[in-house]
Amino acid sequence: MTGADAVLIVAEPTVSGEHDMERVLGLAGHFKVPVLFCVNKWDLNPEKTEAMEARARSSGAAVMGRIPYDMIFNQAMVRGELVVQFPENHAAKSIFKIWENVCRTIGKDAKRISGMTKDADTGRRTN
């Protein structure tokens, strides 16, 4: 972690996810690396999501957003595609928003870093 601009923790709202979050918070604190946090599949357990976000904030982490559960992840994996190749999907929109929040927080240009642009014909984002 030494030399990193920040650490992004992506955790699911489960006991295991909460435990993993705590371990990374401790490790990042040890190395004095700023922590960013988001919750994957947040809507499967909204109460746990809120508790984890509160815990992250209390440790000094910045909450970047939430990714909803969506079958598009499975469909994209089966097709060998990326979820972000479906920019109109609500989960993909959440990921783009989180990416923008991360880049803004660490002072970087999201489009320049990702190389993501929209295809003029399809409107889909491409690398």
pLDDT, tens only, 111-126: 555 555 444 444 455 5
Per-residue pLDDT of the chain (127 residues; tens, 9 = 90+): 778 889 999 999 999 999 999 999 999 999 999 999 999 999 999 999 999 999 999 999 999 999 999 998 888 889 999 888 888 889 999 999 999 999 999 887 655 555 554 444 444 555 4
The CATH architecture one would assign to domain 1-69 is 3-Layer(aba) Sandwich (3.40)
Model confidence, pTM? 0.80
CB atoms within 10 A of CB 112: 9
**DSSP conformation class of 70:** -
Q: Sketch the domain layout of the chain as residue ranges.
A: 1-69, 70-127
Helix (H) or strand (E) holding 40: strand 35-40
Helices (H) and strands (E) in the chain — how many of each? 5, 5
**Token pair belonging to 5:** 């601009």
CB atoms within 10 A of CB 120: 6
Reference 56, options 105, 20, 99, 106; nearest CA is 20
